[in-house]
Structure 1
Amino acid sequence: MKKVRLSILFGILSALGIYFIAESTLSNLLPENTDLTLPTVLLTGQTFLMVTILSILGLNMLPKTGLRLYQASSNGTVWIKAALAGVGVGFFIQALDALYFADRLEAMNGYQPESSLSAMLGGVLYGGVGEEVLIRLFLMTLIVWMVTKLKRGAAPSNMVYIVAILISSLVFAIGHLPANLNFFGELSTMVVFRALLLNGVGGILFGWLYWKHGLVLAIFAHMIAHISMHLIFIPILF
């Protein structure tokens, strides 16, 4: 029951995150003046169910993978390093957008990222919790679990974890392509490169934290990345 309760908590937090960004997300996808009440309810409900179910599956696979929710031996230094890693990801994303991609993508001329409390909460809750559950707890764990099954229960090697991190990070980055298509109106080489680079680097770092220190540290670092972007780097760089 603990796994179910934790998964429901993950689902609720992720659904709340989607709720905070639903208006801005749906208004870009639906015709103007569309009543967003029903689409918002459907989107948040879908998110809750998806995250909850995949969390339960991921938690049930964990014991056979060598991965964990939290490493009890993690000390304050590890938390500080995870926070700094999150800040680094936040800076990397916003700095590249402001100093590199803004000059190379016409749609980013005069680009001003949305920076509001609702946008930050959406990023912290859906990005920090929902994406980590979907990509790390479920997908990355599934890859390691499948290899373990194929090897008849043998302990996964470091290479298995590295490959799982890279594959899940690639899927995470590719998952952002529809949003990029909606924003840029095309998937040019530069647009795809931007999506893969900005999302892939964070995915690799969060995957490494999951492997070495547990899901909680990956969630924490991902949350810090969004907080630092909204409170520090967007105001400074844009």
Structure 2
Amino acid sequence: MTIHAPTDESAGPGGTDAERWSYLRRAGALFGLGLVGVASLGATVALTGALPAVPGFSTLAVLLLSLLTPTALLLVGVLVGTRAAPRVGIRSLVVERVADGTPVLPELGDVAARAIGAGAAVGLLLASLDVVFAPLGATPAVAQGRPTLLEVLASIPVRFLYGGITEELILRWGVLSAVAWVGWRATGGVRRPGPTVMWPAIGITALLFGLGHLPAISGVGSLTMSAVARTVLLNALGGVVYGWFAWRYHLEAAMLAHVGTHIVFVTLSILVVALS
């Protein structure tokens, strides 16, 4: 495990032309990576017929409008994170590759099995807790229905690419870095932030991660108190694990952990369909 101290290099748009160009290159690389997830979200929405009909707007226009919010969140997360993350010791292998040519795969491979395994363990835990919550009426009625195999397979790109990449860029790179930076500055901003700063930042970010899933749940059922508690708690538990990997390793480790969780979700869904 490699721990890097915060750097004093300019991580923002200020400074010299070279520093501004470096910032834009690093942020641009991550934004481009996150757009892959946004595109997968758009493709999934379009192919599953989930787009609402809006009078006066074409289907393409409605699709593009529906992607404005996640794209804007991605842009803000990338810009904020590229400035704040280096100062609080949160790394990105992609950023380091763009900045100084450091290869991504060797270090990514070192942590891949650990991150995916931890994410898979989270997936099993969350699936078990979901069974516990179900009798309490915490699972929206529509969500309780069994999906078809085609629906499960169609969800794979958006789960892995939007959930695993774009959400991590927004939440762990953007929000976690910003919250940690505020805590770091509040405690003096001298040494690299330690557990007393990072754990609260991870917890706050995980809570926001859980709250961010409420709109999707409201679209398939009523938001009862039990449904809200289930959604926030289960997603926040995952967020804590992803945040820990981002802190102790790098952003890409958090992405792999997130993907590991969805691997379990997809596998369990396929088994449910096969056995039904």
Q: TM-score, normalised by structure 2?
A: 0.74
- Distance (whole Å) between structure 2 residues aligned to residue 52 and residue 101 of structure 1: 35
1:27 corresponds to which residue? 50
Q: For residue 12 of structure 1, what is the amino acid of its counterpart?
A: L
Q: Tell me: CA distance 1:13–1:199, structure 2 relative to 1, closer, same or farther (3 Å).
A: same
1:37 aligns with 2:60: yes
Q: After TM superposition, give the deviation of residue 94 of structure 1 in Å.
A: 3.0
Q: What's the CA shift string for 1:88-132, capped at 9, x where partnerless?
A: 2222333333x3233332716852256433311011111111111
Q: What's the CA shift string for 1:60-79, capped at 9, x where partnerless?
A: 11221122114989575632
Q: For residue 39 of structure 1, what is the amino acid of its counterpart?
A: V
Identical aligned residues as a percent:
25
Greater shift, 74-83 or 206-215, is seen at: 74-83
1:121 corresponds to which residue? 157
2:270 corresponds to which residue? 235
CA RMSD in angstroms, aligned pairs only: 2.9
Asked if the contact 1:14/1:47 (under 8 Å) is kept, the reply is no
Asked if the contact 1:15/1:45 (under 8 Å) is kept, the reply is no
2:236 corresponds to which residue? 200
1:14 aligns with 2:37: yes
2:122 to 72, 89, 92: 89
1:78 to 99, 111, 120: 111
2:6 corresponds to which residue? none
- SS of residue in 2 equivalent to 1:193: helix
Asked if the contact 2:84/2:181 (under 8 Å) is kept, the reply is yes
2:183 corresponds to which residue? 147
- Distance (whole Å) between structure 2 residues aligned to residue 103 and residue 221 of structure 1: 29
1:55 to 63, 78, 85: 78
1:132 to 156, 168, 187: 168
Q: Tell me: CA distance 1:108–1:100, structure 2 relative to 1, closer, same or farther (3 Å).
A: farther
Q: For residue 181 of structure 1, what is the amino acid of its counterpart?
A: S
Q: After TM superposition, give the deviation of residue 21 of structure 1 in Å.
A: 3.0
- Distance (whole Å) between structure 2 residues aligned to residue 7 and residue 118 of structure 1: 25
Q: Which segments of 5 or more consecutive residues in structure 2 lack a partner in the other structure? A: 1-23, 97-103
1:112 aligns with 2:149: no
User: How many residues are aligned here?
Assistant: 234
Q: Tell me: CA distance 1:173–1:153, structure 2 relative to 1, closer, same or farther (3 Å).
A: same
2:25 corresponds to which residue? 2
Asked if the contact 2:152/2:270 (under 8 Å) is kept, the reply is no
1:102 corresponds to which residue? 134
- Distance (whole Å) between structure 1 residues aligned to residue 144 and residue 182 of structure 2: 46
- Distance (whole Å) between structure 1 residues aligned to residue 44 and residue 159 of structure 2: 8
- Distance (whole Å) between structure 1 residues aligned to residue 125 and residue 46 of structure 2: 27
Q: After TM superposition, give the deviation of residue 149 of structure 1 in Å.
A: 2.2
Q: Tell me: CA distance 1:181–1:50, structure 2 relative to 1, closer, same or farther (3 Å).
A: closer
Q: After TM superposition, give the deviation of residue 225 of structure 1 in Å.
A: 1.8
- Distance (whole Å) between structure 2 residues aligned to residue 104 and residue 25 of structure 1: 30
Alignment of 1:177-216 (within 5 A): 177-185=214-222, 187-216=223-252
Q: After TM superposition, give the deviation of residue 153 of structure 1 in Å.
A: 2.1
Q: TM-score, normalised by structure 1?
A: 0.85
- Distance (whole Å) between structure 1 residues aligned to residue 270 and residue 128 of structure 2: 11
- Distance (whole Å) between structure 2 residues aligned to residue 109 and residue 14 of structure 1: 23
- Distance (whole Å) between structure 2 residues aligned to residue 222 and residue 201 of structure 1: 11
Greater gyration radius: 2
